[in-house]
Every structure is written in structure tokens, then in C-alpha cells.
Chain A
Amino acid sequence: MDIIFLLIPVAIILVAVATWGLHFSLKSGQFDDMDSPASQILFDDDEDLIPDDAKGKTQGTDKAKD
């Protein structure tokens, strides 16, 4: 059980790191827009990134979606 004398301080340090991470992301404005990023991930604007030979399939699924 003596291990808790090590583990609990480690946990506290990890919490401190997480808190610093939150502070950093807040400061860099990552929480300023809480609305659009959620749906932006769904927009397929990577047409030009898809290799030509794979295009047939993705377009097929696109059609089905429409």
C-alpha cells in the first residue's frame, strides 16, 4: 500500500499538467468558436487529396448520400 505515497503525488502532477494544457488551449483561442468546428469535420473538401484510382468508390457513396 505504500505505493500510494508515490502514485497520488504523480496523479496530482498529472492534474497540474492537464490544467496547464487547458490554460494553454484557452489562451490560444481554441475555445473561442464553440459552434462551427463540430460540423466542419463532416465537410468533404478533400476531393483533390483522393488518388484517382480510389475516386470511383467515394463518389459512389457520395451519390448515395445525396
Chain B
Amino acid sequence: MSTECFHCGEEVPTDSSYQIILDHTPQAVCCIGCQTVANTIIDQGLADYYRHRQISRGAGPSLPANINIEVSDSSHWQAYDDDDVQGAFVRSKADSEKETELVIDGLTCAACVWLLNQHVGKLKGVLHFNVNLTTQRAYVHWDSQQINLSHIMAAIDAIGYQPGPYQASLAAQRKAKDKRQMIFRLGVAGLGAMQVMMLSFGMYAGMAQGMQVDYLHFMRWAALVLSTPVVLYSAAPFFKAAYRALNNRHLVMDVPVSLAIGAAYIASLWATVFKTGEVYYDSVTMFTFLLLLGRFVESTARYHAGHAGNELHQLLPPVCEKVAAGEAEQIAVSKLQAGDLVRVLPGATIPADGTLMQGTSSINEAALTGEFMPVDKQQGDQLTAGTVNVASALLMQVTHTQDDSRLQQILSMVQQAHSFRPQLSKSADQVAHYFVFAVLVISAIVYSSWYLLDPSKAFWITLSVLVITCPCALSLAAPTATAVATASLRRQGILMTREDSLEQIAKVDTLVFDKTGTLTTGAMSLQQVLPLGELDEATCKLLAARLEQESEHPISRAFRHLDGSQYPLTDMQNHPSQGLSGYWPANNMQLRLGKPEFVQQLGQWQAPLRPTAEGVWLLLGNQHQALAWIHIADAKRPELTKVMPQLKALGMELCILSGDHPSNVAELAQALEVDEWQAGQTPAQKLAFIKAKQAKGKRVLMIGDGINDAPVMAAADASIAMACGTDLSKASAPALLLRDHLGLIGILIKKARHTRRIMIQNLGWALLYNIIALPLAASGMVPPWGAATGMSFSSLFVVLNATRLRRIKHDVQ
């Protein structure tokens, strides 16, 4: 039976012994990280957090708290107290007061906001602290004489969230401003539409019962005053988009929308001023309001993914240790220049691209490649910015600074791939194309025929044709369906970041998976312990865990859930790229854990035969004998065996593209019965593979997690990034899994297909409505109130039909 970690909700390994005590009840947690964080929270008297979390869970799926952090003291953050570093993102207020914005990683629900506000807001010297869940940022205002920024960041870190500096890019600032403006446009349209509708009811009633002409004209003027801001301000984006599209000789939905709003408004204005004809203010304002509402819902859903404006500088450290003339000094990374010598300590991030000058070490390139096993580097080897030095201190010479680093090149590759992707027009826009032509042609015919029959009526009847065939239902057909589907997917743990991607996903017939981190869990886990000597399995396991506590190596993560502190070891040492050693006084044992050759040096015993299974085999031994083989591997995701047949049943062709060694991929590919697989692929080769598939007429959905997958994901017809993926892969994918469960892919595909069906129904309805209404309008039989009701009714139908998408749930198994 598996239990969930009380703090982060991840599964607790069965052999874990970590727990916390809350209200006298022991609760299981998964690792020492969660234990420390939970204890800090409880010690601060903030245990209510766990109760609040229950309440706010309904808001959305919760991400596991960031447990891969070494809970650290403020020395880890001290670099952020440096004036040079602060210069980039901290503003000085009066005297010693400063303010800044921090990006907070790991925020999932309102309870997190409460916890942070309570914990950090009460620190002495913090004058103002406010967390925004939507943007995932915190505003901090503090007195630098009483508290340092590093202490604030350490306090955030201590309860399990990762703070980072936020540097607002221009694009991000514009986005925030756009969002406020959009709400205002919507508000103006809503207020205006309600008032105008009220006046219109008065006018319709007056028309039926008889009303003095003075009153009628006064009400028309009032309606004009109320709808003018709606048309000029709220509807401005439609006009702008239509103008841009026409300039590019391109017809989009905004063109008929603008035409209807503009024509109806100008005609009503004319009618009001010259006291003739009909007014359509109610149709105009309602139409604008409904359209804006649809777009607002859609863009709010997408905004949640848009806070990634901080991908790059999060990867790089703020300061580094520059060595000049034998002396080391701390400088801001942004001030590094090509040719500088930099010392990088174990555990630190490489600040720039460069060459290894002195020392040997292992480098963890996971941030770049998604492969988590460190790569050994010798003198003269190339080092890449953003990767992590795991083993020993090294000296490097900077060859490329931030602006032309390999990271930056990958970024521009992503942008290129985006721009070269064939621009797939949305189906609603395709319909708009024909629709605009049809309406314009029909209007011309109606006008000329009425001009011959009765010139005085020609203009007004043509106008009612334009209004009644007003593309309201048509232009709402697609956005409402996408908006509802996006919101419903988000509740199930899938974030859609681009509007057209659902349509693309519905058409997909080929799935391409990255291996590490996508099909596998992307983390080392302890598979088995085979005892070879006098000690039993449990003892060997805990001894290994005790030794691994000293290591920064990713392998040590596999032992995190084990508490080896009952075996006090002394003289513990880390031998880079060899293993670990220690002395166990209780049994007078020299212990070594690591590569067999390294462990064997301890005593002159015969090395046992290495088992054949895939993965890493560590040997544990003492001076007399080998004690145990410890098997560590990147386990494939447990849900795979169920999910893959499901995806096949959806008619998908399954492929694996991996940068990993062929033997590792072959085993997995066979077990999962995929149709095609390639191993040892570079990003460029992966790109070629996808392009070849596309040339054969396949529509490809790429699922990946690493930065190196990003260009490939951008080139595919659609792509999905994993929750644990790098920020860049998340930024380039239109869909993002919030939970690491591949079953979500099936849900997404089904939902996308369903959305497409609803969209087609909606478009069909809108066209049907127009076909029926058009002859009536053209023959001059529809009064303005008829046009307004017809429009509202058909829009309502479309919206209600779209909400059906919310009810149908597809379960993850």
C-alpha cells in the first residue's frame, strides 16, 4: 500500500522512515527535505496551512512542493545582498528602504499564499510582503538596516518555495498592462450593454404601446451616449485586428465583426441625428460584450502559463568568483567578459560558456539535455552555461558570455522553428473568409434589388441584412468551445498556452516521445539491494544512504528517503567520479561505495560479477569483502504500460526519440511496443526526423522535457511539456502537464477531438441560422428587435453547446 507524503503529496517509498508529528499524530513524509520544511511550518505555528490547503485544493491540481532543494541557510542566498547584483532588480525607496519583486517557484494554491504572507510578512524589517498567485510573484518592501534580502529569500526557501529575482522584460510588462486594459474594456462594454439594453426595452415597449416621439428621440440620444465608449474603446481591438488583416490582404473573423459593429453603429448614429430609420445600439453593445467576454475567458486561462518571463536568468547564478592575478573576487555574472578566469565550486552553476583550465570534475547537464547522469570533464573540455558542477572545484576560462552562449543559441533556434512552422489558419478564420465574401455579395445584391423596387428602403434593409447575419454566433463558435475546453483541461491538470493548439492536437496522428524525464521519471531511484556478504539488505541500504548524504551527485537523490543516521560514520570522503568512503567505528569497518574498481582497492578480494540489468550498479564493500550490489536506475513511469495501449487505441503511431545510448532505448521501446525508435539523437537530428514525418503527411505531437527538446517541440505540429521539464521546454510548448502523469495525454487528445466536434456543430448552427435569417432580412421582414433577439438567441445556443465540454470528464486511470 502506498501512502502520500503529508507535505508534498508525492508517493512515499515503502522503505522510508521519515515522518512528522502534527497534533500528536505521526504523518509520513517522503524525504528529509519535506520533513524539514513541514517541521519549520509547524514550529512557526503555521500548521493551519495544511488545513487551508484542504479548502483551496478544489481550485486546481496541486504541484508537489519543491522538494529537491537542500534546505539552506542564508549564506546560500548571500550573493543577492551584493549591490551590483541588486542593481538589476531592486529599487531603492526612502533611506534604507528597498523594494523588489521575487519570482516564487512552487506556488500552487491560495494556502501557499497564506503561508508565505504569514511566515515572511512577520519577519522583523519586512515592511510589506504580498504574494500574487496569478503571476507567481511576490512584492517585497523591506528595511535594509533591519534585514537583508538574503534572509528574506532564505525564509522563503525554508518553507519549501524557491525565490528568484524577477526582472520584468518589456514583453512581460506589456502583457500585464494588456491584461488590465482588457478587463477595463470588458467592464465598459458590460456596463454600457446593460444600460443600452434597458433603454432598448423601453423603446420596444414604447413602439408597441405608442410613445411620444420626443421621448423616443431622447432615449436614442441616451443610448448613443452609452454605446459610443463601447464602440470606440471596448471594440477597438477588433477594428485594429481587422485593419491589420486587411493590410496583409488576409480575411479573419475580425473583419466581419468590425464590419457589423461599425456599420450598425454608424447607421444608428445617422438615424439618431437625422431622426429617421432604426437604431441597433443594443445589438452593437451586446455583441461587443459577448465577444470580449469569450476572449477574456480564453486569455485568462492562458495567462497562467505566461509567467515564464524569467526562464533564462533563473538558470544562471547571480554572481561568480572571478580569479585575476591570483586573487579571487565576487563579481556579477553580467559583468563577465570573454577571457576571464572563473573558479566554480562543487554544487555551483557554471556562469558562462567556457573551457576547463584546471581540475577534473563531473558536470550535470540536466538543465540543457534532460539527461541527469553527470558527464566527466577533463582539462580543455567545453563547459556550458547553466550546467552544474557536481564533483570538485575547477577553474575555467570564459569563451562566450551570456549574449552568445549556447543557451542563447538554442533560444534563437526555438524562435526560428516557430517562425518557419507553416502558418496553419484556424478553421473559424477559414469560414470567415468565405463568409465575408458571401455577406458582401449578398448585401450588394439586396441593395441593388431594393434600389430598383423602393429606393427609400434600400439602405435600411441592407443594414438589417448586415446586422442579422452579424457573425456573432459564427465568431463565438470557436472561441467559446476553446475557452470552455481550456478551463476544463486546467482542472484536470493540463495547461493550454496557445489558442490554436487544441485544433492541432485534435488532428494529430503521430506521437513522438523523448525518453529521459518523459517516459522515465527522470530521477534516479533505488531499484534493489543484493547483499553479498555478512550484512543483511536493510543494513547495507542504510549504510549506503549514510555515505550518500555527503554527496551532491544526482545518484544520492535515490537515497534521500532513507534515514541512515543510526549508523554514525566518521572520516567520510567524497572521491569525485569514483565513489564515497567512510569509517564505521562500531564494527571497525572501512566502507566504500561506488565503482567496483574503486571499492576493490580497499582490500584484495575478488570482485563479484556485475549483474546484467540496465542501469547503474554501485558496489558497497569493506576491507574484507564485497557487501552488496546496489542497483540504481531511472525507472520508467509506472503508468506507461496502461497508457501506451490507450494511446494506440486512439489511432496513434508511437515513436521514441532519445539522445540516450541505443541499448537503453531498445529495451524500453520493445517493452512498450512502440512503432519506431531512434537513439543517440542530437537536437538537429530530432528536428530532421520530425520534418521527415511531416513531409509524409503525418501530424506530429512531441512530448518532451529538456531544453534540447525545445526546438523540436516548436517545429512539431503540437507539443506537450512535462511538469518536471525545464522552463524553456515549457515556454515553447502550447500544452503543459501540471502533473507528471502520462495518462493526461490521452485525456488531452480526447478533449481536443471533442472540442473540434463541438466547434463544427457551432459553426454549422451559425451558418444554418444565417441561411434562415438572411431571406427574411433581405425581404425586409425583420424589425430591429427581431435582429437583436435573433442574434442573442443564436449566440446563447453556441455558448450553451460549448459548456457541454465542461461536463464530460475523461478519467486518468
Contact = CB atoms under 8 A, between A and B. Distances in A.
Contacts of B113: 36, 40
Given A18-B191, A32-B132, A39-B110, A4 B59 contact: no
A43 B222 contact: no
Given A18-B191, A38-B110, A1 B215 contact: yes
In this complex, the member of B118, B187, B212, B226 whose beta carbon has the largest number of chain A beta carbons within 10 angstroms is B187
B222 A12 contact: yes
Contacts of A40: 110, 113-114
Interface residues of B, number: 37
Interface in B33-84: 48, 51-52, 55-56, 58-59
Given A32-B132, A45-B48, A45-B118, A22 B59 contact: no
A34 B300 contact: yes
In this complex, the member of A5, A8, A11, A37 whose beta carbon has the largest number of chain B beta carbons within 10 angstroms is A8
Contacts of B398: none
B133 A36 contact: yes
Contact of A1 (B59, B110, B212): B212
A22 B187 contact: yes
A27 B195 CA distance: 24
A43 B111 CA distance: 8
B218 A8 contact: yes
B184 interface: yes
B298 to A, nearest CB: 14
B183 interface: yes
B279 to A, nearest CB: 15
Interface in A19-53: 19, 22-23, 26-27, 31-40, 42-45
A12 B135 contact: no
Contacts of B379: none
A5 B176 CA distance: 41
B212 A12 contact: no
B110 A35 contact: yes
Contacts of A44: 48
A26 B195 contact: no
Nearest to A40: B110
In this complex, the member of A5, A23, A31, A39 whose beta carbon has the largest number of chain B beta carbons within 10 angstroms is A39
Which 3 interchain pairs have the tightest Cβ spacing? A36-B110, A36-B133, A39-B56
Given A1-B215, A4-B219, 17 more contacts: A4-B218, A5-B218, A12-B222, A26-B180, A32-B132, A32-B135, A33-B133, A33-B135, A34-B300, A35-B110, A36-B131, A36-B133, A36-B134, A37-B110, A39-B55, A39-B58, A40-B110
5 contacts: A4-B215, A31-B183, A36-B110, A42-B56, A44-B48
Interface of A: 1, 4-5, 8-9, 11-12, 15, 18-19, 22-23, 26-27, 31-40, 42-45, 66
